[in-house]
Amino acid sequence: MVKLRLKRCGRKQPVYRIVAIDVRSQREGKDLRKVGFYDPIKNQTYLNVPAILYFLEKGAQPTGTVQDILKKAEVFKELRPNQPKFN
């Protein structure tokens, strides 16, 4: 099973990559694909929306924090009507 979750980068200032990763991998493990970037200090977000939609359509589950980031960016509105929506 694949999840969309945060992968920490940076030592003193936390910066996160949003990655598609196998559930059995560690947080810092090898990812399948980098699909976004999140900086909580500057409140900046970059999302590769086509890649995110591809993984969501294939059944990837976002973690809670990633789901909140995707809701703010209104990514779930771009899912096809027959795809499951995340609350």
What homologous superfamily does CATH list for 2-78? Ribosomal protein S16 (3.30.1320.10)
pLDDT tens series, the chain, 87 aa: 899 999 988 888 899 999 999 888 776 778 899 999 999 999 999 999 999 999 998 889 999 999 999 999 888 887 766 666 665
Residue 44 CA to residue 2 CA, distance in Å, equals: 25
Whose tokens are 């936390």? That residue is 14
**Are the C-beta atoms of residues 17 and 37 closer than 8 Å to each other?**
yes
Q: Is 53 helix (H, G, I), strand (E, B) or coil?
A: helix
Whole-number pLDDT of residue 51? 93
Tokens read off for 26: 């560690």
Task: Give the helix/strand (H/E) hosting 21.
Answer: strand 15-22
